[in-house]
Homo-oligomer: A and B are copies of this chain.
Amino acid sequence: MTLHTSWVASANDPKHPFPLNNLPYGVFSTDTLDPRCGVAIGDMILDCQRAEEAGLISLSDEPLFDVPFWNEVMEEGPELWAALRERLTQILAEGAPDRERAEPLLVAQADAEMHLPFLVAEYTDFYAGKHHAVNVGTMFRGAENALPPNWLHIPIGYNGRASSVVVSGTPVRRPWGQLKAPDAEVPEFAPCRRFDLELEMGAIVGQPSEGPVTVDEADEMIFGYVLLNDWSARDIQAWEYQPLGPFQAKATATSISPWIVTKAALAPFRCDTPPREKELLPHLKDTGPMLYDIDLAVTLAPAGKKATEIARTNYNEMYFSAAQQLAHHSTSGCPMTPGDLLGSGTISGAEKHQRGSLLELSWGGKEPITLDTGDERAFLLDGDTLTLTGAAHGEGYTIGFGTCSGTILEALADPYARS
């Protein structure tokens, strides 16, 4: 596939993240427009609410865009997803007869504030990147016991907290929590000292299920993908996570990028998961390429200083695809809901610079990394801004995700003081 050109000139730059081939879905507002659904095209956003009101988009009996979230579109299902993408492509393609009607409905991204693109029904976070699991396991249990016995057989996951999901740009307050230093007699209640990022992709479930679904069915249910940073309080986690898993360590915030890149836009970049080291049970075997070749990077900018790239990896490093994760998620009959968000798990590669968390980059804090500014980091400091980016590279075009960023605010002096 090659670049599809648009009458929105900025979209035709081969390096622009939002060409006509992409058409990612977000929710935006401006000084004069309430939050509403929009589609990114080049540097602009097409206002879907006004486009529907004007009759430019007319795909269902009931309005789709009278609410500031994409869940209603998701609920309509794959046929409507395809029809909407086709219609948006028609409207925005070079030479489109609708240009005159559509042009007044464009808003500059520079003038827009982005909001969460969908109501997060429930949030699940997986642990399905092998390099990450091996790194963490080696640090905690030694190289010989790095991977738990179940790891190669099921995508290990835990339920996270949907209420803590925030859109890129939302500051993240360093949490307090109960911690215990390894040499301490008793725990203390204190601000987190080992606050970290996790570079992940998020898959958005667009269709419901009631019983177990196959991997193929799961792939059909997925609406799109976002970048995801699962902020993690390593010291809180170390004390709390046995025997029932992470809880408050992961509940402060999870940031996602504001644009949902649809499965359709990513179709040319499908790739296989890495070779299996143990044969999967039939219900988890993939039947075709369901992972994606998406370059990912993380930068860290200390307060008032320039950003350094601290990691660069690719979504194709995942051992399990989102479709496999969703299939596993449904095995027990767990009802899945449009708006469910599935975090991939931290995506690391084999090389040191490919590690998607400071825990791995600084090897548990023992080997701090040095930024281009000369600053050292074992874990995050107040004022640090973390930014995730992602892009799939086609022939003469790019499918970008925009950015997923967050700045660390200092912990509250007294978390129980009430103004």
Task: Give the size category of A's interface with B.
Answer: 35 or more
Q: Knowing A159-B159, A243-B241 touch, does A164 contact B283 (C-beta < 8 A)?
A: no
A248 surroundings in chain B (CB, below 8 A): 328-329, 331-332, 334
Q: A163-B122, A187-B150 are in contact. Are A157 and B333 (CB under 8 A)?
A: no
Collect the chain B residues with CB atoms within 8 Å of residue A163's CB: 121-122, 334-337
> Counting CB contacts under 8 A, is A212 at the interface?
yes
Whether A247 and B161, one on each chain, are in contact in the complex, defined by CB atoms closer than 8 angstroms, is no
- In the assembly, what is the distance between CA of A236 and CA of B211, in Å? 16
Main secondary structure of the interface of A (DSSP, over half): loop
Contact of A236 among B177, B186, B253, B332 (CB under 8 A): B332
Q: Contact between A332 and B162 (Cβ–Cβ < 8 Å)? A: no
A281 to B353 alpha-carbon distance, docked (Å) = 40
Contact bitstring A37-78, B, C-beta under 8 A = 1, else 0:
000000000000000000000000000000000000000000
Q: Give the distance in Å from the alpha carbon of A151 to the alpha carbon of B176 in the complex.
A: 19
Q: Which of B176, B187, B212 contacts A332 (CB 8 A)?
A: B176
- Interface residue A269 (Cβ < 8 Å from any Cβ of B): no
Q: How far is the CB of A396 from chain B (nearest CB, A)?
A: 41
List of B residues within 8 angstroms of A148 by Cβ:
242-243
Q: Once the chains bind, are A153 and B187 in contact (CB under 8 Å)?
A: yes
Q: A158-B247, A252-B332 are in contact. Are A240 and B150 (CB under 8 A)?
A: yes
Query: A281, B247: Cβ atoms under 8 Å?
Result: no
Closest Cβ of chain B: how far from A359's Cβ, in Å?
Answer: 14
Decide: B334 and A159 in contact? CB cutoff 8 A.
no
> Smallest CB-CB separation from A209: which chain B residue?
B163
In the assembled complex, how far is the CB of residue A346 from the closest CB belonging to chain B, in whole angstroms?
12
> Are A158 and B161 in touch, CB under 8 angstroms?
no
CB proximity of A166 to chain B, nearest CB, Å: 10
Q: Does A233 contact B (CB under 8 A)?
A: yes
Known A156-B240, A331-B175; contact A281-B150, beta-carbon cutoff 8 A: no
Complex Cα spacing A168 to B328, Å: 27
> Would A416 and B214 count as touching, CB distance under 8 A?
yes
User: A275 at interface (Cβ–Cβ under 8 A)?
Assistant: no
User: What mask results when residues 108 to 142 of chain A are scored 1 for a CB within 8 Å of chain B, else 0?
Assistant: 00000000000001100001000000000000000
Contact B160 A159 (CB under 8 A): yes
**Minimum CB–CB distance for A252 against chain B, Å:** 5
26 cross-chain CB contacts under 8 A: A122-B161, A149-B180, A150-B180, A150-B187, A153-B178, A153-B187, A158-B244, A159-B247, A161-B335, A163-B334, A163-B335, A163-B336, A164-B335, A173-B333, A175-B331, A176-B212, A178-B328, A189-B283, A211-B415, A212-B416, A213-B416, A214-B416, A245-B245, A251-B332, A251-B333, A253-B333
Besides A148-B243, A187-B281, 9 more A-B contacts (Cβ < 8 Å) are A122-B163, A150-B242, A154-B239, A164-B333, A189-B282, A236-B332, A248-B329, A248-B332, A252-B333
Nearest 3 A/B pairs, CB to CB: A245-B245, A251-B334, A159-B159
